[in-house]
A = this chain, B = another copy of it.
């Protein structure tokens, strides 16, 4: 496959393509046209064609795209084709929901360990359960690709620092605080309150008509 420099915007759309292709794959659909993709994802067909052209010549004019081939190619670009070991720090309801989240295992993400300041309340979880005091020991002994932060807001920053100092390069943050560690650590912040505020603003507009 030809290597190109892929823009941030294209990258941001790739998970959407991947999820849609996975749905098609589950439904045993073999081929899909750029028009069909664009309608499902509410993009323009030419944008879809341009985006996918970035990854080489997937589509033949008039034939559409081979779903499995395209899904596999995007998975490789995103890094989904290799298994990922995950730990979760903070076992409140969000942390436990994530530990339990079926989608992880399916896509090659395995929650190996869950950490909290108290561990007695954690139930029905397949991962190993540790006191957060064990965090550094665990990370020194176990290769870990992604750390999820699902602590209270007040604890999140310190936990994040400990993770980064222990060598973690990838943080998925659910605490209501933006974490940032420069270029050397990948961070995705799930800002639920910001999403709720955006929704509130949008609904204000909807109700105004």
Contacts and interface: CB of A to CB of B under 8 A. Distances in A.
Q: Is the interface of A mostly helix, strand, loop or mixed?
A: helix
Contact of A199 (B14, B172, B191): B172
Q: How many copies does the complex hold?
A: 2
Contacts of A100: 93
A197 B15 contact: yes
Contact of A183 (B176, B188, B206): B206
A113 B80 CA distance: 38
A64 B200 CA distance: 28
B169 A207 contact: yes
Contact of A194 (B16, B96, B169): B16
B42 A180 contact: yes
A139 B78 CA distance: 42
Interface string A64-98: 00000000000001111000100000001110110
Contacts of A78: 197, 200-201, 204
B188 A199 contact: yes
Contacts of A203: 79, 145-146, 169-170, 186
Contacts of A93: 93, 96-97, 100
Interface in A168-209: 169-172, 176, 178, 180, 183-188, 190-207, 209
A19 interface: yes
A194 B15 contact: yes
Contacts of A207: 169
* Residue among A109, A185, A196, A205 having the largest count of chain B Cβ atoms under 10 Å: A196
A77 B170 contact: no
B92 A191 contact: no
Given A18-B197, A19-B193, A93-B100, A202 B188 contact: yes
A39 to B, nearest CB: 11
A75 B197 CA distance: 9
A198 B12 CA distance: 7
B178 A196 contact: no
A62 interface: no
